[in-house]
Amino acid sequence: MKKLLVLVLIVAVLSALGLLPFHATDAAKLLPVKTVIVTRSGEEYVVDIGAGVRAVGRTLSEALERLREEVTGEVFLPTAEQVVITEPVADAVEAVAEESAFRPAAGIYRTPLPSPDAAAVGEYLASHPSNMTVLDVRAELAAGREPRLPRLVPANGGWRVDE
């Protein structure tokens, strides 16, 4: 009984000091992300999650960090089902593959559109799953091969995915 009491006291003290390895998050403040648009513009990355919410950084990680800092609430990237990279994609593909914030099972696409609307693109892509995921891209790059991303192109006022 004394051991249990000591354990409870230790946990209470560590919790009060904020030293526990986990923390509570108010679910009402979470902003789940469905689609992430990544653009490499010169020496900067632009990350757009829709509804006019975007951030810029010298690296993809920096842009994502700024996104988290500037948005009211907590941006929750593990819910992202799609990552769309605007062309040219060379450096951005590697940056997306290396970024641990993205869910490995998220579909990954490329597009010639300079800044597609993340919400509208996300709705379309929800019914057109990618044959390439972030995990697949990591594997291709690790094997020294260039990944062949499905291409999202405008078509008849909407989009089409070319595999």
Mean pLDDT, residues 129-133 taken together:
90
Tens digits of per-residue pLDDT, 47-100? Answer: 999 888 899 999 999 999 999 888 887 887 888 999 999 988 878 999 999 999
- 3 vs 45: which has the higher pLDDT: 45
pLDDT tier for residue 162 given thresholds of 50, 70 and 90: confident
Residue ranges of domains in the chain: 28-162
For residues 150 and 63, what is the distance between their CA atoms, to the nearest angstrom? 24
Instruction: Identify which has the larger pLDDT, 16 or 147.
Output: 147
How large a percentage of the chain has pLDDT more than 90?
45
Residue 30 has pLDDT above 70, yes or no: no
Pairing outcome for strands 82-86 and 74-76: unpaired
CA distance 60 to 113: 19
Helix H or strand E encompassing 83? strand 82-86
For tokens 């605007």, name the residue. Answer: 86
